[in-house]
């Protein structure tokens, strides 16, 4: 049975990805920073007959990540797939020039340093042939027009895309595939109720990258299970 750890998966696209991978027979470890919310979500997975557990981890906090890795090490599991999904988009995020620098710092701390720190701590559990999937965004695209929305978030996702490329290069020797994806505009707390896509559709590409995509795909950016330009 393959195992998958998904950060920030007590709700939204992360939770739906956990649900769909659980239905496909993965052993699912959901994760989040709020124990009560994580346990409620775990109970929902169990109710659907999914083999799942939880790990409390705040990806913006290095100590919390280290504690989670120590806890994980006691479970004698390998980690076939790590999905770096947790991210924030701050409502105050309107300008790189006039916003307090803390908006950008907080956003990078969760959306970029979070990914690097989680990957560093959990790499020891990922076997050769494993997969790392980074949930990015079209907002991080360097080839699309800049839309003027949430600039710190967009900077963080462009940075995340380069993190993906760098990690994919570093992990070539271990045959660990590292890819980014854009889920599209999805109806979640982050995407809002006006978004064009259901959460089921939003989870489609991460589920595919975790389970069916060729292992040779690495260092790439995907949407709708197709490679897209950076
Ligand atoms: P949600 O806001 O619905 O969910 C985000 C999840 O991340 C929550 O579980 C949240 O936990 C968790 N999280 C946030 N900060 C931390 C942290 N420091 N430590 C641990 N968990 C944390 O967002 P979505 O499901 O919409 O987004 C999932 C991914 O998809 C993100 O990477 C996002 O950038 C990306 N994305 C989403 C789009 C959309 O339209 N929805 C479009 C493009 C990309 P808590 O409940 O505690 O807040």
pLDDT on residue 43 = 98
Indicate if ligand 1 lies below 6 Å from the C-beta of 33: yes
Q: Is the CB of 65 under 6 A from ligand 1?
A: no
Determine if ligand 1 sits within 6 Å of the CB of residue 140.
no
pLDDT at 147: 87
Q: How many Å from the N-terminal Cα to the C-terminal Cα in the chain?
A: 33
- For 25, the 3-state DSSP assignment is coil
Which residue among 190, 198, 205 has the greatest number of ligand 1 atoms within 8 angstroms of its CB, and so is best to mutate? 190
How do the pLDDT tens digits run along the chain, 230 residues long? 999 999 999 999 999 999 999 999 999 999 999 999 999 999 999 999 999 999 999 999 999 999 999 999 999 999 999 999 999 999 999 999 999 999 999 999 999 999 999 999 999 999 999 999 999 999 999 999 888 899 999 999 999 999 999 999 999 999 999 999 999 999 999 999 999 999 999 999 999 999 999 999 999 999 999 999 99
pTM, two decimal places: 0.99
Q: Cβ distance 183 to 168 under 8 Å?
A: no
Relative to the CA of 84, which ligand 1 atom is closest? 32
| Strand pairing class (27-32; 131-135) | unpaired
pLDDT tens digits, 106-136: 999 999 999 999 999 999 999 999 999 999 9
Pocket probe for ligand 1: among 11, 44, 87, the residue whose CB has the most ligand atoms within 8 Å is 87
Q: Could you list the residue range(s) of the whole structural domain that residue 200 is in?
A: 3-227
- The secondary structure of residue 138, as a DSSP letter, is G
Tally of domains within the chain: 1
Q: Please give the number of the atom of ligand 1 that sits closest to the Cα of 187.
A: 41
Active-site residue list: 153
Q: Is the CB of 151 under 6 A from ligand 1?
A: no
Instruction: Evaluate whether 205 touches 21 at the Cβ level (below 8 Å).
Output: no
- CATH of residue 84's domain is 3.40.50.720
Strand partners, 53: 29
Is the distance from CB of 184 to CB of 169 less than 8 angstroms?
no
Q: Tell which residue, 213, 149, 142, 222, has the closest CA to residue 182.
A: 222
Query: Which of 18, 58, 86 has the most ligand 1 atoms within 8 A of CB, as the residue to mutate?
Result: 86
What's the CA-to-centroid distance between 160 and ligand 1, angstroms?
Answer: 14
**13 within ligand 1 shell (Cβ under 6 A):** yes
Q: How far apart are the C-alpha atoms of 210 and 88, rounded to whole Å? A: 22
β-pairing verdict for 226-227 and 221-223: antiparallel
Whole-number Å distance between alpha carbons of 2 and 20: 13
Question: Cβ(132)–Cβ(171) under 8 Å?
Answer: yes
Say if ligand 1 is within 6 A of residue 16 CB. no
Helix (H, G, I), strand (E, B) or coil at 214: coil
**Cα–Cα–Cα angle for 57, 184, 88, nearest 5°?**
30
Helix axes 12-23, 35-47, angle to 10 degrees: 30
């Amino acid at each position: 049975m393959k195992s998958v750890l998904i950060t920030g998966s007590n709700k939204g696209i992360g939770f739906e990805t956990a649900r769909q991978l659980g239905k496909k027979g993965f052993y699912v470890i959901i994760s989040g920073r709020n124990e009560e919310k994580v346990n409620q979500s775990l109970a929902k997975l169990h109710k659907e007959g999914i083999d799942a557990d939880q790990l409390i981890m705040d990806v913006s906090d290095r100590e919390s990540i280290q504690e989670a890795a120590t806890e994980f090490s006691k479970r004698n599991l390998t980690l076939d797939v790590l999905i770096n999904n947790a991210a924030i988009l701050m409502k105050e995020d309107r300008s790189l020039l006039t916003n307090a620098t803390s908006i950008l710092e907080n956003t990078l701390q969760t959306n970029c340093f979070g990914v690097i720190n989680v990957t560093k701590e959990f790499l020891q559990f990922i076997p050769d042939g494993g997969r790392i999937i980074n949930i990015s965004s079209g907002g991080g695209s360097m080839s699309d027009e800049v839309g003027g929305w949430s600039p710190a978030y967009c900077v963080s996702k462009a940075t995340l895309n380069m993190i993906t490329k760098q990690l994919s290069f570093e992990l070539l020797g271990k045959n660990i595939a590292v890819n980014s994806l854009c889920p599209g505009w999805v109806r979640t707390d982050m995407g809002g109720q006006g978004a064009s896509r259901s959460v089921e559709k939003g989870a489609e590409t991460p589920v595919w990258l975790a389970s069916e995509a060729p292992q040779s795909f690495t260092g790439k950016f995907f949407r709708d299970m197709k490679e897209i330009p950076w």
